Amino acid sequence: MAQMVTGQLGAEGPYWDALAEGRLLLPRCKGCGQWHWPAVWRCGECGSWEHEWHERTLEGTIFTWTRTHHRFGGTEGLDLPYTTVLVTLNDAPIRLQGLMEGREDDLKIGARVTGRIDKTRFGDAAILSLRWSLA
């Protein structure tokens, strides 16, 4: 089981629970259909407090990326350099962060990627996070 390090940020509890089960769940307002990320308790568009969590596939395109070379404190669990990407999902208007794995030779904005769920070591904790590779 992954450990929360910084505590739950907002209303995204079901996201972490689902990742721990190997699934990606994301929230959509039952009132107006708006997808929300970060997750919210109240939909700021229609005022609804009801949200449905939908399973989505880990497929998308690169929105942007950075390759980190400097050893910042707190990244000791990752080998340098490592590449962090922001991925626009194919089946929800939401961007999720992740780490690249595999080849990066034609990594660029717009490139198609597929993902999986893994954990990142952070001190004594292991944080659930996504891994993406070029499709």
Partner 1 sequence: MTLNLSGKTAIAGVGYRQYKRGTAPWPERGVLVRAIVDACEDAGIDPADVDGFVSYGDDKNEPVRLMPDLGTKQLNWSAQVWGGGGGGIAGTFGIAASAILTGQAKAVVIFRALAEGNSGRLAAAVMAHHLNDHMVGVGLVAPAQVCAMRAQRLFEYHGVPQSVCEEMVRASYYHGSRNPEAISYGKELDVEAFRTSRWIAEPFRLFDCSRENDGAGALLMVSSEMARDLKRPPVKLLSVAQGAQKGWGDLLENDDADLYPTAGFRGIRDRLYGMAGLTPADIDVIQLYENFSAQGVASLIDHGFCTYENVAEVLKYENLIAPSGKLPINTSGGNLAHGFVHGFVTAVESIRCLRGESHNPVPDAKTCLLAGGPGAPTVSSAIFGID
Q: Does 5 bind partner 1 (CB under 8 A)?
A: yes
Say whether residue 112 binds partner 1 (CB under 8 A): no
Task: With CB under 8 A as the rule, give the number of residues binding partner 1.
Answer: 38
Answer yes or no whether residue 51 interacts with partner 1 by CB under 8 A. Answer: no
Please list, residue by residue across 23-50, b when 16 or more beta carbons sit within 10 angstroms of its beta carbon and e when fewer do: ebbbbbbeeeebbbeebbeebeeeebee
Encoding tokens for residue 28?
């959509």
Of residues 18, 24, 65, 113, which one binds partner 1 by CB under 8 A?
65
- Rounded to whole angstroms, the Cα distance separating 77 from 2 reads 15
Among 31, 42, 82, 101, binds partner 1 (CB under 8 A): 82
Pairwise CA distance, residues 89 & 59, whole Å: 6
38 binds partner 1 (CB under 8 A): yes
Of positions 20, 46, 109, 135, contacts partner 1 by CB under 8 A: 109
Q: Evaluate whether 97 touches 42 at the Cβ level (below 8 Å).
A: no
Please give the backbone phi and psi of residue 52, each rounded to the nearest 5 degrees, phi first.
-110, 135
Report the interface residues with partner 1, using CB under 8 A: 4-6, 9, 16, 37-38, 63-70, 72-75, 78, 81-82, 84, 86, 94-95, 97-99, 108-109, 119-120, 122, 127-130
